[in-house]
Amino acid sequence: MINVYQKQSSNQGQAALATVFLIGGVIILFALTLAFLALRVTASTFSAEAGSRALAAATAAAEDGIIRIVRDPNFEGTVPFPASTSTVTSVDIRKVPFTNQTKITASSTVGTNSKIIEVIVDVSSSTGRVDVLSWEAVR
């Protein structure tokens, strides 16, 4: 009688097991690299969005400061600006000594992103007209 079943060499099984482990390790390493990259892209996207929200809130606060000067040319002080629950925004309005100019500093913070806008306006003493002389995003 002929023996149909042949005994496999144990070396072939060990080589196959080592190959499976090697390929599995490469796949796991590739998956972890993709997960890390996805996490970094998501974090940078959220940071950019928070920076945009802080700049928009600071811009709105600076415009609110201009409106306050238009309504009352002698207004001075710091005013909190309610933008949203996750945003801390304020407007500081100060007269520039010995001129008809007023400096408006609007600051906003969303998360760890802070933006500051400085606006210099000129208030005509005869007509009360308010002209924006400069508008600068400081940070």
Q: Is the pLDDT of residue 12 over 80?
A: no
Secondary structure (H, E, C), the chain: CCCCCCCCCHHHHHHHHHHHHHHHHHHHHHHHHHHHHHHHHHHHHHHHHHHHHHHHHHHHHHHHHHHHHHHCCCCCEEEECCCCCCEEEEEEEEECCCCCEEEEEEEEEECCEEEEEEEEEEECCCCCCEEEEEEEECC
Residue 5 scores a pLDDT above 70: no
**Structure tokens, 38:** 């996805």
Residue 83 has pLDDT above 70, yes or no: no
Whether residue 1 is predicted with pLDDT greater than 80 in this model: the reply is no
Give the pLDDT confidence score for residue 10 in this predicted structure.
59
Query: Tell me, what's the pLDDT at 8?
Result: 57
Q: What is the pLDDT of residue 136?
A: 93
pLDDT 10s digits, 85-134: 677 888 899 998 888 899 999 999 988 889 999 999 998 888 888 899 99
The dotted CATH code for 10-137 is 3.30.1300
For the chain, what are the domain ranges? 10-137
Q: Is the pTM of this model over 0.85?
A: no
